[in-house]
Structure formats: structure tokens, C-alpha cells
Amino acid sequence: MKRVIHWFRRDLRLTDNAALYAARSAAAQVIPVFCLDDHILSRPDVGAPRVWFLLESLREIEGRIAARNGRLVVLRGKPEEEIPRFAREAKVEAVFFNRDYEPYARRRDETVSARLEESGIQARCFSDLLLAEPESVLTADARPYSVFTPFFRAWISLPKQEPLPEVQDFGGPFPAAGGGVPDSFDIGFTLPSDFDPSAWKPGEDAARRRLDAFVETCAAAYDRQRDLPAVDGTSRLSPYLKFGNISIRQVYQKTAAFAKFVSELAWREFYFHVLWHWPEVEHSAWQPQKRHLQWDDDPERLEAWKKGMTGYPIVDAGMRQLLTEGWMHNRVRMVVASFLTKDLHINWQEGERHFMLRLVDGDLAPNNGGWQWAAGTGVDPRPIRIFNPWLQSRRYDPEGAYIRRWVTELSAVPPERIHEPHLMAADEQRRYGCIIGRDYPAPIVDHHVERQVAMERYRAVRQDAQPSLF
Ligand SMILES: Cc1cc2nc3c(=O)[nH]c(=O)nc-3n(C[C@H](O)[C@H](O)[C@H](O)COP(=O)(O)OP(=O)(O)OC[C@H]3O[C@@H](n4cnc5c(N)ncnc54)[C@H](O)[C@@H]3O)c2cc1C
């Protein structure tokens, strides 16, 4: 072929990009295109930190493409209209892109493909985002797995592909078309004042460096350290995987020896498969009976949770890390999600939305999966999981180092008091410079009471449910 388009979406890299590599192998010239999708940008759960990460990644890849005899074309509008229109104008023979599994993306890609074919332009779709496709991990009677352990056994036994080489030459820049990469502000997104972008360096180079650093320094201790939020013991690759600054095959190739880490990659795949097979989870509980759970409408408590002002230090530390870094440690994500749903009795979808608004790695499949797991409404059904925030805090942040980093009001409080500072006597509060109710809130609810309420509500929708307490 003479000229084709590679349509970038969540695959913002030049190395091991299945569709891009195939495009370059098939054609003399590849026009790299990104379409700022009005539908996605106007969704109420799309937040400025994530858009910032996207635009910075685009800026980086724009430079890399320019250095490789190409030019990134940035379109803006509805991809169903913009991609076929530009493909016709540029007189390309085919549009290459990587498969996406989200319900909206599936509909969009079907429409774009149909419109391209109507114009005599091929639509070529490739597997890229996952190590195994949803159709390849099925039970003996060809059904999708809804429990993780058997899914994992089937998934791990499948052969995994090696990464493809980097695309070195786009075959010549296409004459100016579309705009450049805009600033967040220009497309209606203002970074929240409490978000600190210096926590991240978006882009393919930074992603590779992060992977290398993780493999060299942390991977061997991952299974011991991954649950300790005060330790930099996880990879922090999630935003890079979200935007495809690095491929899952590159990550797997370097980490295959670390079994616990690989099982976390499998959770990611599991949730993508769940979303593919049961797209309705985007809007409702996977377990039908859990759609009838009773939730409270309590804007004040929801706001306290969002701001990190619940009086539960481990919860508040996590929520403040989220606001500042656009990221939260996985153990703490589980704790704050349990707290919202089991202690405040607020619908998991409120938490899911807030996470999407503030996370740089906000990603429908793992976010929805994580929230439904924590709320006990999703796949992998178990007895009700009720986390005791004080016990979680003592177990996973025993010295209180994580709490102290994010809840600075408690910075002088010693380890034996920091998990339940409201139990400090008046003289202790004075000694440690933290008056409860003035400098830091008293707990907004009593976990022992709310745990009972949660049990009753869960039992009401599922008579046989036995609670399991962590
Ligand atoms: C309530 C809740 C919401 C979540 N929302 C998101 C989200 O929006 N986006 C997101 O990428 N992850 C989400 N997760 C999963 C997990 O918390 C993050 O992937 C992880 O904390 C990212 O940090 P890391 O890259 O250092 O992870 P590591 O521990 O280094 O793991 C490596 C990679 O494995 C994957 N992974 C790890 N743990 C999980 C998991 N439990 N489920 C699915 N994939 C996993 C991620 O891609 C991660 O980057 C959520 C979890 C919960 C409990």
C-alpha cells in the first residue's frame, strides 16, 4: 500500500504497537492521527489530571514522530465523522488501529469501520492492549470466567507474545492538517489547584525508565512490600498502561519471573474480559441481587470522604494522596472503597466516578472492577468484605509513616496513637499539637456501628451472606 493511517487511541507509543507496526510493514507512508473525541471529553467522569496525562503523552509522541520522518495529525470532534473524513481527504487505502474493549469504544469502532468500508477504505483492527484476548480465556464449556483463580490458571497457561520492534520511519510527514496538541485549558480542562503534576512524567521514555527502575530495585521484594503504602514498592505503571506509553508485553517480558506481580497483571486482564463479556457492569452491579442494595444519599459525608476529612487517618491519607498525586496505593484504594460503601453506605458508583475524575490512571475496566470488588457487587463473589480501617492501618502502616506524609495535622503523633487519634487524652492532644475537632476531625461515623448496618443491608439482598472481616 502507498499510504495508510495509524489511528492512535490508548496506545501512545512507537515500540511494540501492534497496529502501528503492521501499518508500517504494509505501507510506504503512515500518517499518525489522534482524534480528541468530543464524546469522551464531555463525559462527566473525565477529569483534568487524566486529560493532562493524555495531552503530555501526545506532546511527547508528537516529538518522537517528528524525529522519525513523520507528523502527528491531531483532529477534534466525533471520530465517527472525523476519521472517515480525514481518511478520504488524505486518500489513504487503510486505517489501522488497536482493539478497545469498552462499550463506547466498541460502538465507535464499528461505526468508523463501516463508514470507512463504505468509502472503499480498509479498517484493520489489531490485538494489543492485553496479553490474552477475551475469546481465548474461556471455561471448558466456552463461557467466560467470573471467578479469578480459575481464570488465572487458564490465562497463565497461554503463550505470551514477545514485544515488536519500534517504528523508526513514518515514510514522510503528511502536509499540515488538523491542529497541534492543545493545552488542557484550551479544551476546557483546568487542573485542580491541589493536583501536583510534578508527581508524573508522562510519555514512552519515562514509562520505560519506570519499568526498568522497578525491575532493578523493587520487583524482587514486590510480594513482601506491595501492601505497604509507605514504601515505594509497586511499579506505578498504571497511568502508562492506561495510555499505552508502554505495552503490556514489554512489562510482562521484564517481569515474568515475579509471580505475584504477574498475578496483578492478570487482574487487569480479568477486568477487561469481564467488561467485554458483561458490558452492563459499566452501569450496574454484576450480581443482579446487589442492584437492590440500599444506599444512603449523604452529600456531607461523601464530601468529607472526598476531601480526606473523615477522622479515619488511613482513609484520609489515601484520599489526600489521590487529590495531590492523581494516584493512590492499591491497599488504600481497597480501604477507602470499603469505607465509602460499608461505613458510609454510599453507592460504589459515587466512588467510582470520583476516582475517574481524579486518577491519572482512571480506567473503566480496572476501576469498575475494583469498585465492584470492594462493594461486593461484582464478579469473584465472596462473603461481604468489611475492612476495619483501624486494623488495616495498624497492619499495613504500622509506624504511621504513610499517614504522617499525607495527614500533616498528625505529623507529631506517635505510632501507638496515630491510627485512632481521637482516643488521645486532652493532654496528649496538646503535646502532639493536634486537637481533635479543631485540627483534625473526630471520626464522622463509628465503624463498629456501621459494620452492623452494612451486614444487615447486605443480608437483606442475600440471605445466606456471611460477613468476613479484615
Ligand atoms: C477501588 C479501586 C479502584 C481502582 N481503579 C483503578 C483504575 O482506575 N485504574 C487502574 O489501572 N487500576 C485501578 N485499580 C487497581 C490498582 O489499584 C491499580 O492498578 C494499582 O494500584 C496501580 O499501581 P501500580 O501501577 O503501582 O500497581 P502494581 O502493583 O505495580 O501492579 C502492576 C499493574 O498491574 C495492574 N494491577 C495491579 N493491581 C490491580 C488490580 N487490583 N486490579 C486491576 N489491575 C491491577 C495495573 O495495571 C498495575 O499498573 C483500582 C483498585 C481498586 C481497589
- The answer to whether 66 and 174 have CB atoms below 8 angstroms apart is no
What values do phi and psi take at 294, rounded to 5?
-90, 125
Catalytic residue among 81, 133, 166, 264: 264
* 155 is an active site residue: no
Are 239 and 360 contacting, i.e. CB atoms less than 8 angstroms apart?
yes
Q: Per this entry, what is the length of the chain? A: 470
Q: What is the pLDDT of residue 469?
A: 55
Mutate to test the pocket of ligand 1, among 224, 264, 265, 380 (most ligand atoms within 8 A of CB): 264
| Ligand 1 centroid distance, CA of 85 (Å) | 37
Write out the three cell numbers for 154. Answer: 487458564
Residue 51 pLDDT:
97
Q: Which residue has the cell 497461554?
A: 158
Beta partners for residue 385, in sequence order? 468
> Could you tell me the distance, in angstroms and rounded to a whole number, from the CA of residue 189 to the centre of ligand 1?
25
5 lines ligand 1 (CB under 6 A): no
Number of the ligand 1 atom closest to the C-alpha atom of 364: 8
Q: How high is the pLDDT of residue 139?
A: 96
Is the minimum distance from the CB of 271 to ligand 1 under 6 angstroms? yes
Whole-number pLDDT of residue 186: 87
Where the chain has pLDDT below 50, the residues are: 463-465, 467
Query: What's the 327 CA to ligand 1 centre distance in angstroms?
Result: 10
Q: Is the CB of 265 under 6 A from ligand 1?
A: yes
In the residue annotation, 347 being an active-site residue is answered as: no
Per annotation, catalytic residue among 295, 390, 420, 428 = 295
DSSP code string of 228-287: -TTS--S---HHHHHHTSS-HHHHHHHHTT-HHHHHHHHHHHHHHHHHHH-GGGGTS-SS
- Say what the pLDDT of residue 463 is: 47
Return d(Cα 84, Cα 95) in angstroms, integer: 9
Report the C-alpha gap between 214 and 234 in whole angstroms. 8
CATH number for domain 3-128, candidates 3.30.230.10, 3.40.50.620, 2.40.110.10, 3.40.50.720:
3.40.50.620
* Cell numbers linked to 458: 447486605
What one-letter code names the amino acid at 49? P
Start and end residues for every CATH 1.10.579.10 domain found in the chain:
288-469
Please confirm, yes or no, whether 295 is among the known catalytic residues.
Answer: yes
Residue nearest to ligand 1 atom 48, measured at CA = 238
The secondary structure of residue 413, as a DSSP letter, is S
Mutate which of 10, 217, 235, 238 for ligand 1 pocket (most atoms within 8 A of beta carbon) = 238
Burial of 156: CB neighbours in 10 Å, binned 0-12, 13-18, 19+: middle
Task: Show the cell assigned to 321.
Answer: 494522596
pLDDT value for 470: 58
DSSP-H helix ranges across 326-363: 330-338, 348-358
Instruction: Let me know if 371 is a catalytic residue.
Output: yes
Give the per-residue pLDDT at 176.
74
Amino acid at 100: D
What per-residue confidence (pLDDT) applies to 468? 55
Query: What is the 330 CA–ligand 1 centroid distance (Å)?
Result: 6
Distance CA 386, CA 102 (A): 30
Q: Dihedral sign, CA of 76, 19, 121, 102?
A: negative
User: What are the beta bridge partners of residue 29?
Assistant: 3
| Annotated catalytic residue, options 7, 155, 200, 267 | 267
Q: Write the class of the CATH domain 288-469.
A: mainly alpha
Q: Any bridge partners for residue 8, and if so which?
A: 34
Ligand 1 mean position, distance from CA 270 (Å): 12
Q: Extract the runs of DSSP E, i.e. beta strands, from 171-233.
A: none
Cα(363) to centroid of ligand 1, in Å?
Answer: 9
Q: Can 330 be counted among the known catalytic residues? A: yes
Nearest CA to ligand 1 atom 34: 265
Which region holds residue 429: left if phi is over 0, alpha if psi is between -120 and 50, else beta? alpha
Rounded CA gap, 267 and 273, in Å?
A: 10
Residues of the chain with CATH 3.40.50.620: 3-128
Q: Letter for the amino acid at 32?
A: P
* CATH (residue range 130-162+202-277): 1.25.40.80
- Which residue has a Cα nearest atom 33 of ligand 1? 265
Q: Is 241 in the pocket of ligand 1 (CB under 6 A)?
A: yes
Buried b (16+ CB within 10 A) or exposed e, 390-406: bebbbebbeebebbbeb
Mutate to test the pocket of ligand 1, among 330, 338, 379, 402 (most ligand atoms within 8 A of CB): 330
The ipTM value here is 0.99
Residue 304 phi/psi, 5° resolution?
Answer: -60, -40
229 CA → ligand 1 middle, Å: 13
